[in-house]
Structure 1
Amino acid sequence: MLKPMLPTLIFEAPTGPNWVYEIKYDGFRAMLHWNEESIQLISRNGYLLNDQFPEIIDQCLSLQKKVAKHLPIVFDGELCILESPYKASFELTQIRGRLRNTDKILQNSSKRPAHYLVFDLLKLQGEKITEEKWIDRKNKLYQLFEDLALDTSISQSSRQLLQFIDYDTAFNRIWKIASELNAEGIIAKKKDSTWDEGKRTTNWYKIKNWQVGAFFIVGYDKKNGFFHVGVMRNKMIYEIGLFSHGIGSDERQALLQVIQNNAVDETSGFIKVNPGICVELFYLELYKEQLRQASFSKFRLDLSWRDCTWEKLVHKAPLLPEEVEISHPNKPLWKDKSITKLDYIHYLVDVSPYILPFLKDRLLTVIRYPHGMYGESFYQKNCPDYAPDFIKTSINEGIEYIVCNDLKTLAWLGNQLSFEFHIPFHTIYSQGPSEIVFDLDPPSRDFFQLAVKAALLLKDVFDGLKLKTFVKTSGNKGLQIYIPLPENQFTYDQTRQFTEFIANYLTTMNPDLFTTERLKKNRGSRLYVDYVQHAEGKTIIAPYSVRGNDGAYVATPLFWEEVTENLSIEQFPLESIMERIMINGCPFEDYLRTKDEQPFQPVLDFLSQK
């Protein structure tokens, strides 16, 4: 088996016409040995990974006939579970790698499939091509993906699990992307280099996307030689991580001497000190609110230990676009929750890969909460005069709406304390609706189970019509069912015919539970099936938008199997959403791909005959 060629870690990237750059992903380095008789995923250390990542093997088997003429093949790549096109989840990839139970592996691979990101081709049609120039191997790899009709871009939501890592010729351009979108780093590769098997080479360099922060020493572990560091958080000392690498022997001895001279407690294994010694550290990311891969940079004799704060650390988080300045980051937003303005903006940035596809090219109405939940709110449709130049707008019926297509716009809206993102059922380019949405609105949260019952009844109907449906909470008191539609094929009059029929069917079958009565006073304790709301000019809360309520609840996409009597709105506060996505994936990840597969025309044909 081939042993991997390893990049050398440096802090400044090489430049020049002979260098190109790829995004570095944080996963398991693996080679895929693919021939007529077997498919083997081999780790960097020579272990077989087939059982840990069965979804990759299954996809290869599904491609076996198409790829047959190119076999045997050897790919070099990275096995990982993607958070975005530029970042893999270190935590989820590690968890998958440690699983041994077959049922749990299958459950995880179905719920949160890994991707195999291919960056090199070492063997093609049984011919070893490691002596060819890197650029020639890369071109052959690209052509192979084209021949197999496989996508040549990275997507965390793609059903295609074998993906091609492309390169960029401009370091500054790709580094800006890596920095803003929190990639692990960059790999620089020499175009005319050959494959150096099993060697740490200077033909490939890795430049990690280090973050820099200031910390104070809180102790020293005598057993393993690690220094423990902390920051001030909520006026208390918060131990945030440890380091040992990067510090020279003279500096280490000097630091140890200071720690010993100022010890406030010492055991056989640990020396504790009060804050006072400040250091600057490199680190890769904050992982579960702890430093990952921390390394010493220098002493900070110019700092007071009280200046080493959690707030400064997260305010410098790499995902915040440089065009967006955050004002009053520590402003509290919810009365009974420790969510600050910066926490909210970080949520928007983290959830951006999942919310932006639904905001893209839509006329946006927001509800602004200038004082959080401590003050009044107001609707905003017109883009304010003070909006920065990068904000895209579109005029409709005399109103200049914001169109939120990118991260910097989303972050800017967050800084404006826009809590709710309401969007129409079509894009600025659509001729007719892009989807149908049924809003199931109970009289209060106490009657939420009425929404569950209605949703399950409607799912049975839609399944019978072979329509693909998606469901989410409203984030307030009800549920919403989505039926994605192909673009520019249907009118609102046609969808109204359908929504009215379905609503009337539901209320006729269960008149004591459901109603289409628009006046609240006449509904009693019945659930309102709001089909009138699905019309041109009307809006619905966007998936993953937080609502302006005391619980900071989010309009959360659900898996249909979650829609049970145990479901409640309170299960989905803002603080829980990203962990939920990371563990379970996004229930709406197939939404856009489903649009062109909907058999909606036969349903309309049936209704027109009635």
Structure 2
Amino acid sequence: MLATLVDGPFDDPGWEYEVKWDGYRALAYLNKGEVNLQSRNRKSFNDKFYPIYQQLTEWKINAVIDGEIVVINDKGLSDFNALQNWRSEADGELVYYAFDILWLDGKSLVHLPLTERKAVLQSIVDQNSPVQLGYSIAADGNAFFEAAQKMGLEGIIAKKSDSEYYPGIRTRDWLKIKIHKRQEVIIAGYTLNEGSSKLFSALLLAAYDKGELRYVGKVGTGFKDKQQREMMALFKPLVTEKSPFRETPDYNKPSRFRPNPPHANATWLKPELVCEISFTEITSDGVFRHPSFEGMREDKSAKEVVREVEKPTEEVVDQANDDGATIIKKPGKAKRKTLLNPKDETQVRKINGHEVKFSNLGKFYWPDEKIRKRDLINYYYQVAPFILPYLENRPLSLNRFPNGIKGKSFYQKDVTGKVPDWIETFPYTSEGDDKNFMLCNNEATLLYMANLGAIDVNPWNSRIEAPDNPDWCLLDLDPDTTNTFEQVIETARAIKSLLDTLDVPSYCKTSGSTGLHIYIPLGAKYTYDQCQLFAEWVAGQVQQQLPDFTSVERMTRNRKGRLYIDYLQNRPKATLAAPYSVRPKPGATVSMPLHWDEVKPGLQLKDFTIYNAIDRIQSEGDLFKPVLGEGIDLEDVIAKMSVGMG
């Protein structure tokens, strides 16, 4: 059902008013998990707006919903340009605003009055539904229009409260009142000014009037270079030598605003593409004045685009009295979701000001679990704010799995000449050659690494500001195949108990592989030698407590199947999987920080994976944050050790 354009707001007790969202109209056909999301011209939105489609598949109802898909900006307003450029959830929060329901549980609702249809819609939609209800009030048109104007909305819609739903019909029961003049138009060609370096100078615009294609002017502002390149690709298959108009328009015609326009040559197109423009007014000969390009409208069919002329409101409704004011609610801030969409094999995203290319995104990195490369990159995009503090200014050893966990892997330390120049590096010398470690100091670098197949992220224990002074002391509990995980847990608890007697704080995380890692904050105040001596003492004390199944022997054969309490990781240039790093292990496990009361029998490493890690971090926060804090006073601790031993 379509609305008629009128020239101003009104109040009437028989009408109700809604926000005119600046987005794509969409019908959702829902059949208990089977979903088809379609535009007005029956184009599928299932892939394009995949988050909404996926949410609708989980809504097990049998209904047909009418609504609008929008991107909501930080001010809570719909942003059509952002919707135009939307490729994944990193581009903005998608919302599907439902404003009507046509069918429910096998029954047509189109002949019910609007108030009853909305009551049905409200009965099935709550705050957890995949759709939101568009804002609506009864009998308050002028005040609602004024509030919409102050908020910078596109306009409002007025609907008769007793109106039935007439599919495909533009009726006077639904009216649209625009704050900013905007209209859909057909692209009939483009011009290029002599001497211009642009791909095109202006679009030649058209609309149907009584079945005939009419020229409505040209638009030469509002384009970005990247947009022009994308549009030229759309134009290429539609180029035609013949003008689509009955009479070729004078597109070089001077105006009082441009008395001497540059000479332009036209390229004509088959009239199939639709765009939207904003403008100030329409001249007496039907041409748009001061038009500006707003975006392509792939959801609209060119055959539907007619010259819209505002009708005087008085002709359509009787004016009524003002009845109060209204408030339009701003949505809450969305959490990070996905960077890459689920369809395109190659995608380019702008991150930290750098164009980063992601390729082979459909490749299975965990074949048994059907986890693809895009899933890994999306995970690191989501976890970036949490993992980056543990990577900043720490040289990395890249553990690359270009063909997933079942393919060949290799370590890469030297990245000299092999990474873009915007990636920061740290120099070192090996075998007389000058080489460079990679530093991961921003999101773009983290995701670039993931695209290289670096499944896990392995930083130094110290930063380049103080390379000989680790920020933490660590103990790596590495079980043998003969050990049970309960023995790993018992060892970790014994280490915590010992450290508690010395008032030394400790923090535990899963390795994501087979063991547990225990970190002690040092604040870069001590050398690796001092750190390692302390770790060796702790390991030795605990090994004496648990001699039956633990060992501090470096050589594997000397351990005789016992769990290794590894303190030798506390050395220069040694690396260990960072907190929140994914591991190249079955199940796509994650190295996850734990509460100490979780380190007990029943804990399993497979409980923390790429699937649930983000939800856990969102609910628990960064449990490892104190590891980056001030650190312990090692001299004070040694004094307590001496007292304890004495």
* TM-score for the superposition, normalised by structure 2: 0.49
Match of 1:486, as an amino acid? G
Match of 1:373, as an amino acid? I
CA 302–394 in structure 1, closer or farther in 2 if over 3 Å, else same: farther
CA 339–302 in structure 1, closer or farther in 2 if over 3 Å, else same: farther
Name the residue aligned to 1:300: 299
Match of 2:473, as an amino acid? I
Alignment partner for residue 528 of structure 1, among 564, 567, 573? Answer: 564
Quick check: 1:601 aligned with 2:511?
no
Name the residue aligned to 1:458: 495
Report which stretch shifted further, 467-476 or 427-436: 427-436
Kindly provide the CA deviation profile for residues 474-522 of structure 1, in whole angstroms up to 9, marking residues without a partner as x: 11000010001122x2112212221111111111222112101222233
Contact residue 425 and residue 538 of structure 1 kept, 8 A: yes
Match of 2:561, as an amino acid? S
Alignment partner for residue 567 of structure 1, among 603, 611, 623? Answer: 603
- Give how far 1:554 is off: 0.9
Contact residue 226 and residue 242 of structure 1 kept, 8 A: no
Q: Distance in 2 between matches of 1:241 and 1:247?
A: 21
Gaps of 5+ in 2: 1-18, 23-70, 88-93, 104-108, 110-116, 123-128, 136-153, 170-273, 276-294, 303-339
Contact residue 415 and residue 438 of structure 2 kept, 8 A: yes
- Give how far 1:437 is off: 0.5
Contact residue 364 and residue 422 of structure 1 kept, 8 A: yes
- Give how far 1:444 is off: 3.5
SS at match of 2:612: helix
CA 254–314 in structure 1, closer or farther in 2 if over 3 Å, else same: farther
Contact residue 444 and residue 477 of structure 1 kept, 8 A: no
- Give how far 1:528 is off: 0.3
Match of 2:592, as an amino acid? T
CA 590–505 in structure 1, closer or farther in 2 if over 3 Å, else same: closer
- Give how far 1:244 is off: 6.0
Report which stretch shifted further, 217-226 or 470-479: 217-226
Q: Distance in 1 between matches of 2:375 and 2:301?
A: 29
Kindly provide the CA deviation profile for residues 201-257 of structure 1, in whole angstroms up to 9, marking residues without a partner as x: xxxx96869545599999955534979xxxxxxxxxxx9757868898799999962
Alignment partner for residue 577 of structure 2, among 541, 544, 565? Answer: 541
Q: Distance in 2 between matches of 1:302 and 1:476?
A: 54
Q: Distance in 2 between matches of 1:328 and 1:247?
A: 43
Alignment partner for residue 433 of structure 1, among 470, 476, 486? Answer: 470
SS at match of 1:379: strand
Contact residue 488 and residue 515 of structure 2 kept, 8 A: yes
Name the residue aligned to 2:417: 385
Contact residue 551 and residue 563 of structure 2 kept, 8 A: yes
Kindly provide the CA deviation profile for residues 90-141 of structure 1, in whole angstroms up to 9, marking residues without a partner as x: xxxxxxxxxxxxxxxxxxxxxxxxxxxxxxxxxxxxxxxxxxxxxxxxxxxx
Q: Distance in 2 between matches of 1:445 and 1:554?
A: 23
Contact residue 330 and residue 340 of structure 1 kept, 8 A: yes
Match of 2:441, as an amino acid? N
- Give how far 1:468 is off: 1.3
SS at match of 2:499: helix
Contact residue 516 and residue 528 of structure 1 kept, 8 A: yes
Alignment of 1:65-464 (within 5 A): 185-186=73-74, 211-212=83-84, 220-221=102-103, 222=109, 223-224=117-118, 257=167, 300-301=299-300, 311-312=342-343, 323-383=355-415, 385-398=417-430, 399-430=435-466, 431-444=468-481, 447-464=484-501
SS at match of 1:436: strand
Q: Distance in 1 between matches of 2:296 and 2:130?
A: 17
Kindly provide the CA deviation profile for residues 248-301 of structure 1, in whole angstroms up to 9, marking residues without a partner as x: 879999996259xxxxxxxxxxxxxxxxxxx99xxxxxxxxxxxxxxx995525
- Give how far 1:589 is off: 2.8
Quick check: 1:475 aligned with 2:509?
no
Kindly provide the CA deviation profile for residues 448-489 of structure 1, in whole angstroms up to 9, marking residues without a partner as x: 2221111101101111111111110111000010001122x2
Contact residue 350 and residue 356 of structure 2 kept, 8 A: no
Alignment partner for residue 513 of structure 1, among 544, 549, 557? Answer: 549
CA 608–363 in structure 1, closer or farther in 2 if over 3 Å, else same: farther
Contact residue 504 and residue 637 of structure 2 kept, 8 A: no
Question: C-alpha root-mean-square deviation of aligned residues, in Å?
Answer: 4.5
Q: Distance in 1 between matches of 2:594 and 2:444?
A: 27
Give the percent of matched residue pairs that are identical in Structure 1 and Structure 2.
Answer: 29
- Give how far 1:359 is off: 0.4
Kindly provide the CA deviation profile for residues 560-584 of structure 1, in whole angstroms up to 9, marking residues without a partner as x: 1110101011101111100111122
Alignment partner for residue 522 of structure 2, among 485, 499, 523? Answer: 485
Q: Distance in 1 between matches of 2:607 and 2:379?
A: 17
CA 368–384 in structure 1, closer or farther in 2 if over 3 Å, else same: farther
Match of 1:563, as an amino acid? V
Kindly provide the CA deviation profile for residues 360-400 of structure 1, in whole angstroms up to 9, marking residues without a partner as x: 01010121010112411111111152411210000123431
SS at match of 1:324: strand
Q: Distance in 1 between matches of 2:624 and 2:523?
A: 16
Alignment partner for residue 584 of structure 1, among 594, 617, 620? Answer: 620
CA 468–220 in structure 1, closer or farther in 2 if over 3 Å, else same: farther
Match of 1:432, as an amino acid? N
For the pair shown, the structure with the greater C-alpha radius of gyration is 2
Match of 2:342, as an amino acid? E
SS at match of 1:371: coil
Kindly provide the CA deviation profile for residues 178-206 of structure 1, in whole angstroms up to 9, marking residues without a partner as x: xxxxx97445xxxxxxxxxxxxxxxxx96
CA 324–255 in structure 1, closer or farther in 2 if over 3 Å, else same: farther
Quick check: 1:500 aligned with 2:499?
no
Gaps of 5+ in 1: 1-7, 12-182, 188-204, 228-238, 260-278, 281-295, 304-308
Alignment of 1:42-53 (within 5 A): none
- Give how far 1:426 is off: 0.6
Q: Distance in 2 between matches of 1:372 and 1:255?
A: 53
SS at match of 2:421: coil
Q: Distance in 1 between matches of 2:367 and 2:164?
A: 47
Q: Distance in 2 between matches of 1:211 and 1:578?
A: 26
- Give how far 1:585 is off: 1.8
Q: Distance in 2 between matches of 1:311 and 1:258?
A: 32
SS at match of 1:482: strand
- Give how far 1:604 is off: 3.0
Query: When the two structures are aligned, how many residues end up with a matched partner?
Result: 365
